[in-house]
Amino acid sequence: MKYHCAHRWAFNAWGGALQEQEDALAPATGHEVTLRITHCGMCHSDVHIREGGFDMGGGKLSSLERSGVRLPVTMGHEIVGEVVEIGPDVKDVSVGMQVVAYPWLGCGACAVCVQGDEHLCGKAARNLGIQVPGGYADVLRISHERYLVPIGTLEPARAATFACAGITALGAIRKLPALGADDYVAIIGCGGVGMTGVALLSATSKAKIVAIDPDPAKREAALAHGASLAFDPGMADALKTISKTCAGNIAAAIDFVGAESSSSLAVNLVRRTGLVVIVGLFGGEFKMPLPMFALKSITITGSYVGGLNDLRELVALAQRQRLPQIPLDRRPMASVNEALDDLINGRVVGRVVLQP
Ligand SMILES: [Zn+2]
Ligand SMILES: [Zn+2]
């Protein structure tokens, strides 16, 4: 019997540094697949996962521990790897294939999971990098081959970012109504996911994109990846200036930050009948005068990551047409702690991708 030795970078205390540890994996059984990880993207959610929860506003924090997440936690949910071992029942993937792993696993049995929305399962989530070990490791066990999408000739570091940044951006864009060339869409927050949103929207829609981010480097990158305009939300009279420049015609706003200030900017920017999609998990509380819903007839909706089919579709889309490419910041996996610090301090443009 051949055992794989996995090296993981895991934290043993909420908020603590990641430490390298070893773990023996028994041979794959049934539909299990073993990957040798080659690339793993770093998501802003990892900052919150390490802290142990999300800011729910009013001083309240959600708690991963109370929801059943156990230490140590090996994060990382944007995983590309090579298949190195398959269980006896695996048919659809073979050894040597390069695949991206779908990380948002649910219980697989409830009504939500059965309709294909495992990422929205409310019963027993088994997300890679939260409840089960993720990609900050060199070897990883996947429970079933159906969660693996072959990437063919796609650049592996880029395909890794599809598993969260990509499908999160695609999932939010899919909620937008049909848009014409005179319509504007505000993209608030141009980190890894927001920048992917700018790139995907410009590749799939005629609407003009207004990128909004306090960081001049991110605004510049957004302009280079399909945005027509870019603004600093911290400038004096931001709301008035942005609205006026867009002729009051912002049909939709996607809030990739999800903070109190960004969501309030989003609802105030959209025109009457406009749509606001809240995606980011920065945290806080949403407040709006109730009559505004009726007077502006706006719609506010949320969007959380994406489904397995979104990942398959995004891989197929990237294989069909060249998508504008967000900047990647490649680093060795051993520098995972420094990379997390840089992400917390806003020193990352685009997406960090770690390589073991
Ligand atoms: Zn993520
Ligand atoms: Zn379920």
Where do we find the tokens 């999408």?
Answer: 149
The residues, any chain, with a CB within 8 Å of residue 128's CB and separated by 6 or more, are 76, 77, 79, 101, 103, 105, 134, 135, 140
pTM of the full predicted structure?
A: 0.88
Per-residue pLDDT at 2: 60
Residue 115 CA, ligand 2 centroid: distance in Å: 10
| Proximal ligand: closest to the CA of 279 | 1
List every span in the chain annotated with CATH 3.40.50.720.
176-302
Ligand with minimal distance to 193 CA: 1
pLDDT of 191 reads 87
279 contacts 302 by C-beta, under 8 angstroms: yes
- Centre of ligand 1 from the C-alpha of residue 165, in Å: 6
Q: What is the pLDDT of residue 150?
A: 98
pLDDT score at 58: 81
Give the closest ligand to the alpha carbon of residue 256. 1
With a cut of 50, list the residues of the chain below it in pLDDT. none
Q: Look up the CATH superfamily of 176-302.
A: NAD(P)-binding Rossmann-like Domain (3.40.50.720)
Asked if residue 71 lies in contact with residue 19, where contact means CB atoms within 8 angstroms, the answer is no
**Rounded to whole angstroms, how far apart are CA atoms 196 and 323?**
10
Distance (angstroms) between ligand 2 centre and the Cα of 125 equals 7
**Homologous superfamily in CATH for domain 4-167+306-355:** Medium-chain alcohol dehydrogenases, catalytic domain (3.90.180.10)
| DSSP string across 152-185 | TTS-HHHHHHIIIIIHHHHHHHTTS----TT-EE
For residue 114, give the ligand nearest its CA.
Answer: 2
Ligand 2 centre distance from Cα of residue 170 (Å): 22
- For residue 181, the number of C-alpha atoms closer than 13 Å in the C-beta half-sphere is 0
**DSSP secondary structure code for residue 128 in this structure:** B
Sequence ranges of the chain with CATH classification 3.90.180.10: 4-167+306-355
**Ligand 2 ion: nearby residues, β-carbon < 5 Å:** 106-107, 110, 113, 121, 123
Instruction: Give 110 Cα–ligand 2 centroid separation in angstroms.
Output: 4
